[in-house]
């Protein structure tokens, strides 16, 4: 077979292969768990940003290497966390197992405390273990904090109360708890947590722990 004949044979094979491929691709799978529709799959937004919009964003916000530093979230230092707990009525010297004080003191490494003997500074970025330990501390501390507010034992916020007689969240108590002025969304979230829990007591614990976690773990 000459060179021209080889070329024709190759072209014919390519046409047949494409025909077989097209025929195969037109087959659809039978209905079942592997098929989906708009109601059972996530609708991805595939719109692409134009170069001019991207340029405008970079002009206003700065390059990614800058915004990643500006908007990053560092953790609360170990000593600062202890001071916060002390100020809102938590006994950090408590030796009772699984109390907030016990979890705080024994969580030094998990919370990224400094190892001066080995010349290792304190970790300034929040980690999974650090966030988990903080969540545990806040959950364990909830009862102490609620009691402290009820007994007016929070020295930095005299008279502030977290909940009124009707178990409604109060803005003065939340402001003292999280260190920033309470907004309507804080109150709505707090009241929703209390009202939808299995009991009022559990709801108060969850509300206090969740507010602290949101304030001190970048959530």
pLDDT above 50 (res 8): no
Q: Could you tell me the residue ranges of all domains in the chain?
A: 78-216
Distance CA 65, CA 68 (A): 6
pLDDT at 148: 92
pLDDT at 141: 93
Mean pLDDT of 25-43: 59
pLDDT above 50 (res 23): no
pLDDT at 108: 86
The length of the chain, given as a count of residues: 219
Report the C-alpha dihedral over residues 107, 113, 114, 115, rounded to 10 degrees: 20
pLDDT band, residue 2 (cuts 50/70/90): low
Mean pLDDT of 178-186: 90
Whether 211 contacts 187, CB under 8 Å: no
- Residue 180's Cβ-side half-sphere holds a number of Cα atoms within 13 Å equal to 10
pLDDT at 6: 46
State CA 115 to chain mean position distance: 27
pLDDT at 76: 85
């Amino acid at each position: 077979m000459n060179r021209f004949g080889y070329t024709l044979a190759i072209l014919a094979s390519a046409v047949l292969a494409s025909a077989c491929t097209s025929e195969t691709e037109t087959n659809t799978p039978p209905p079942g768990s592997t098929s989906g529709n708009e109601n059972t799959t996530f609708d991805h937004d595939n719109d692409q940003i134009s170069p001019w919009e991207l340029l405008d964003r970079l002009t206003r916000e700065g390059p990614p290497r800058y915004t990643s530093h500006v908007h990053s979230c560092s953790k609360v230092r170990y000593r600062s966390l202890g001071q916060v707990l002390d100020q809102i009525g938590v006994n950090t010297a408590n030796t009772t197992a699984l109390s907030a004080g016990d979890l705080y003191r024994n969580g030094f490494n998990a919370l990224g405390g400094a190892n001066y003997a080995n010349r290792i500074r304190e970790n300034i970025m929040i980690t999974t273990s650090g966030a988990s330990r903080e969540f545990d501390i806040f959950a364990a501390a909830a009862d102490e904090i609620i009691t402290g507010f009820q007994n007016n034992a929070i020295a930095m916020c005299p008279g502030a109360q977290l909940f009124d007689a009707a178990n409604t969240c109060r803005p003065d108590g939340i402001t003292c708890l999280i260190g920033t002025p309470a907004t309507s969304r804080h109150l709505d979230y707090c009241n929703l947590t209390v009202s939808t829990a299995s009991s009022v007591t559990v709801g108060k614990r969850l509300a206090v722990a969740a507010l602290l976690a949101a304030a001190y773990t970048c959530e």
